Amino acid sequence: MNITQRYRWLYKPAVFIIALLPLARLVAGAFGIAGISLGADPVNEILHECGKTALQLLLITLAVRPLVRLGRLHNLLRLRRMLGLFAAFYALLHFVTYAWLDQNLDFQAILADILKRPYITIGMAALLMLVPLAVTSTNGWMRRLGRRWQKLHYLIYPIAILGVWHFWWQVKADIREPLAYAAILAALLGYRVVVKARSVSATARGRSADPAP
Ligand code: HEM
């Protein structure tokens, strides 16, 4: 099997199945399959599982580029779109759980909540930015948008920041978990800043080495 076949027949299906495991656990819990239970507050369990999975997948998506550079694993880029799409999928499920199971589709109450509770406002902002990224993730949109596609997809950074902030803001006492997410995000963003600074200074050095016209 060459590398393209390995990605198509092994790695992509494996990532697809692994990314569906949290959903499979929730479905099994909701129907009491295999003795799996969602505990005393199933709605809260679904909300939390989808929220955390969305955030984890966002951070994994952001980690692809550094892994490609550091490990010379260029082919990992082939998995990035699927990871990002699953992040958007779980974020959407998280919102649907909140709107439907928690708020009974009472849109007035949802709007009031978005306006009143800052962590909900932040979550909503993150979701609203994530949707256009998911929609424009296809090759067709990539072609249509050209250079603007890359610019639009830089939104993944503010989305991840808002996602971590949204998590942090709602935690009442023990901040260890959101702190861990914030530390991973800071490392990923720090890495990007260093790479960018290096490329800017390399370009500047290249220019100053150019002979005068
Ligand atoms: C990219 C978008 C979003 C991400 C990554 C995200 C992530 C998270 C995370 C990680 C949690 C904490 C889970 C836990 O404690 O185990 C959470 C909780 C929550 N999120 Fe989001 N969220 C997003 C968007 C939204 C939106 C749009 C809403 C509603 C409009 C929302 C409403 C909530 C609520 C109500 C909770 C539970 C708070 C509690 O337990 O008191 N989130 N979210």
DSSP 15-58: HHHHHHHHHHHHHHHHHTGGG----S-HHHHHHHHHHHHHHHHH
pLDDT digits 0-9 by tens, 79-131: 999 999 999 999 999 999 999 999 999 999 999 999 999 999 999 999 999 99
Which pLDDT score is estimated for 213? 46
What pLDDT is stored for residue 172 in this prediction? 85
For residue 58, give the ligand 1 atom closest to its CA.
5
Average pLDDT on 158-187 reads 96
Residue 211 is predicted with a pLDDT of 56
- Residue 176 alpha carbon to ligand 1 centre in Å: 17
Stretch 1-17: mean pLDDT, rounded?
96
Band of the pLDDT at 204, cuts 50, 70, 90?
A: confident
Q: If you take atom 35 of ligand 1, which residue's CA is the nearest one?
A: 98
pLDDT of residue 119: 97
Sign of CA dihedral 187, 189, 190, 194: positive
The pLDDT score that the predictor gives to residue 206 is 83
Return the pLDDT at 205: 85
- Whether 22 is in the pocket of ligand 1, judged by its Cβ within 6 Å, is no
Q: Where are the domains of the chain?
A: 3-191
Mean pLDDT of 169-194: 95
Q: Which of 140, 133, 136 is nearest to 154 (CA)?
A: 133
pLDDT band at 212 (very low <50, low <70, confident <90, very high): very low
- What tokens does 168 get? 């942090």
Averaged pLDDT for residues 161-183:
96
**Ligand 1 pocket test, candidate residues 167, 176, 177, most atoms within 8 A of CB:** 167
Summarize the confidence of residues 137-164 as an average pLDDT: 96
Q: Which of 124, 170, 174, 179 to mutate for ligand 1's pocket (most ligand atoms within 8 Å of CB)? A: 170
For residue 188, what pLDDT is reported? 97
Q: What is the mean pLDDT of the chain?
A: 95
